[in-house]
Amino acid sequence: MSTYYPRTKDLTRTRKSLTDSPPSSPSATDKNYRHERLSRYDSSGESATDKPLGRTSSYQRRETRLAALTRQEQDSTAKDYKKMYAEALHENERLKSRLQDSKQELAKIRSQLEKVTQRHDRISERSSVLESEKREKQALEKRVSDMEEEVKILTELKSDNQRLKDENGALIRVISKLSK
């Protein structure tokens, strides 16, 4: 509203300066001024500002202009709000789709992690089974080596026994010859 007052004062000053100066050739500003001045007079030749109704109508025109301006501002802000709302909805939809994608990716990664964990468990089970099998194998190998040692000893004992039997038989023959 404050922007309208200085303009009105400037127009009044311009009008006063035009009326004070002697008439010269009509310029564009003079024609506009004359047009404004003529439009302020009604058909009877009286100034519209002299009448109370004319004054009211100028106030009404100013109020109408101000109301139109505020309506335009309200419409533009309403449009801005609508635009901002539409942008917010679009942003929300975009974020929802990104969230959904992230959830799907998270589920995929979780399933992969579960598979890897199961595989690791199986491998660790296998490794524990392999370890126990290694221990059993080592125990069996040790037992086999012990048995091989025993077999060696037994074969040596058998050979010693056979040798002793042969010597014993030879001694028995020698003794029987001597006793005859």
Of the candidates 15, 62, 8, the one whose C-alpha atom is nearest the C-alpha of residue 34 is: 15
Q: How far is CA 3 from CA 9, 54, 66, 134, in A?
A: 11, 23, 11, 98
How much is the pLDDT for 126? 82
User: Which pLDDT belongs to residue 30?
Assistant: 54
DSSP reduced 3-state for 41:
strand
Of 32, 67, 61, nearest in space to 48 by CA: 61
Could you identify the residue written with the tokens 């125990």? 139
Mean pLDDT of 132-147: 92
| Residue 113 confidence (pLDDT) | 94
DSSP H helical segments within the chain, as ranges?
4-20, 28-40, 52-179
Tens digits of residue pLDDT in 93-136:
999 999 999 999 999 999 999 999 998 888 888 888 888 888 99
pLDDT in tens, 19-68: 555 545 555 555 555 555 555 554 445 444 444 545 668 888 888 888 88
